[in-house]
Amino acid sequence: MELKIRGVSKTYANGVRALRDVTLTIPVGMYGLLGPNGAGKSTLMRMIATLQEPDTGSIRFDRIDVLAEKDKVRETLGYLPQEFGVYPKVSAENLLDHFAVLKGVTARTARKEVVEALLRQTNLWEVRKQKLGGYSGGMRQRFGVAVALLGNPKLMIVDEPTAGLDPEERVRFLNLLSELGEKSVVLLSTHIVEDVTELCTRMAIINRGEILLEAEPLRAVDDLRGRIWRRVISKSELAVLERDHAVISTKLLAGRTVARIYSDGDPGPGFERTEPDLEEVYFSAMAGHIGRRSEPPEATNGS
């Protein structure tokens, strides 16, 4: 079971090219689609969710043609968009029961069991009678997951799910997603590097509608080892440093600027080699210093 995206492109009527020949193979588990706002992530999510059509290309999930068999996709799809509305004066239990009816769970006993199981799974059972208008951001996100899980989907799409969550809610939410990824294809679209670091066994970095890098996060970090250097500089030195070196990030530390650069060899006095992390992979790919396709071996069959 896997999601195959082949040669997908999309240009909007205003001339904005949202996606350019996107090709990915997404297996069972958590898969991260990492990129800045406006990179094309949400456009791709909407296409997989059957809400938008590409200009060219194909999308298949297992044996289903996503673009031609939308109803079949929707039967096995769970979708949590970046923004979704709730009825603030309705309780979580009642609204989830209503959505269960719309999903085809019409028998009262079966529906009661499904609603209870999902509210417990998302840790909302104790507040099931509370009106949704009183829920925190994290609680609303978990309710969105409960709705998305109706019908036991094999394909889950979550778009920027942790934006705006406090640290405690973020951890709780990520743990929930991790459980879902054990049996389903879960596509996590985000601009938050830490979400991918903590959750995903594979990832793709996208910018301006193009895939810059597709790899296993840990392997991508390992491939960068020995090529990231740091140096503490003053603000006045930054322009010269950017002229002479491939600067990938700068951060303030105790009033000083710590610059990190990409270099295959020793860049000179004052620099020290530092251990990379996925953030360095992300910045290096965005700057064009690294970039390759690394699909799993099985992806070459039937593509």
**CATH assignment of the domain containing 296:** 3.40.50.300
Q: Are residues 56 and 192 in the same domain?
A: yes
Q: Are residues 250 and 206 in the same domain?
A: no
Q: Is 142 within a domain?
A: no
| pLDDT tens digit at each of 303 positions of the chain | 899 999 999 999 999 999 999 999 999 999 999 999 889 998 999 999 999 999 999 999 999 999 999 999 988 898 888 767 778 899 999 999 998 998 888 899 999 999 999 999 888 999 999 999 999 888 888 888 888 888 888 999 988 877 777 788 788 778 878 887 788 899 998 888 988 887 898 999 999 999 999 999 999 999 999 999 999 998 888 899 999 999 999 988 777 899 999 999 999 999 999 999 999 999 999 988 887 555 544 443 443
Q: Is 280 within a domain?
A: no
Specify the DSSP element, H or E, that contains 177.
helix 167-180
Distance in angstroms (rounded) separating the CA atoms of residues 300 and 127: 47
Q: Are residues 130 and 175 in the same domain?
A: no
Q: Are residues 57 and 162 in the same domain?
A: yes
Q: What is the pLDDT of residue 102?
A: 85
- Kindly report the number of other CB atoms within 10 A of residue 225's CB atom: 12
Q: Is 145 within a domain?
A: no
Q: Are residues 160 and 73 in the same domain?
A: yes
In angstroms, the Cα distances linking 181 to 77, 80, 175, 219 are 14, 14, 10, 20
Q: What is the pLDDT of residue 294?
A: 53
Q: Is 283 within a domain?
A: no
Q: Hey, what are 204's tokens? A: 């793709």
Q: Is 221 within a domain?
A: no
Residue at 221: amino acid letter: V
Please provide the DSSP assignment of 22-56 as one string. EEEEEESEEEEEE--TTSSHHHHHHHHTTSS--SE
Specify the DSSP element, H or E, that contains 164.
none
φ/ψ of 86, rounded to 5, equals -130, 160
Q: Are residues 119 and 156 in the same domain?
A: no
Specify the DSSP element, H or E, that contains 175.
helix 167-180
Q: Are residues 121 and 237 in the same domain?
A: no
Boundary of a domain, candidates 134, 161, 192: 134
Domains in the chain, number: 3
- Kindly report the number of other CB atoms within 10 A of residue 280's CB atom: 24
Q: Are residues 77 and 160 in the same domain?
A: yes
Q: Are residues 118 and 259 in the same domain?
A: no
Q: What is the pLDDT of residue 293?
A: 52
Q: Is 182 within a domain?
A: yes
In the block, tokens 């996709």 appear at 73
Range of the domain at 249: 226-274
Q: Given CA atoms 159, 155, 166, 128 in this order, what sign does their dihedral have? A: positive
Contact 77, 45 (CB under 8 A): no
Q: Is 147 within a domain?
A: no
Q: Are residues 9 and 67 in the same domain?
A: yes
Q: Are residues 161 and 250 in the same domain?
A: no
Q: Is 27 within a domain?
A: yes
Q: Are residues 94 and 202 in the same domain?
A: no
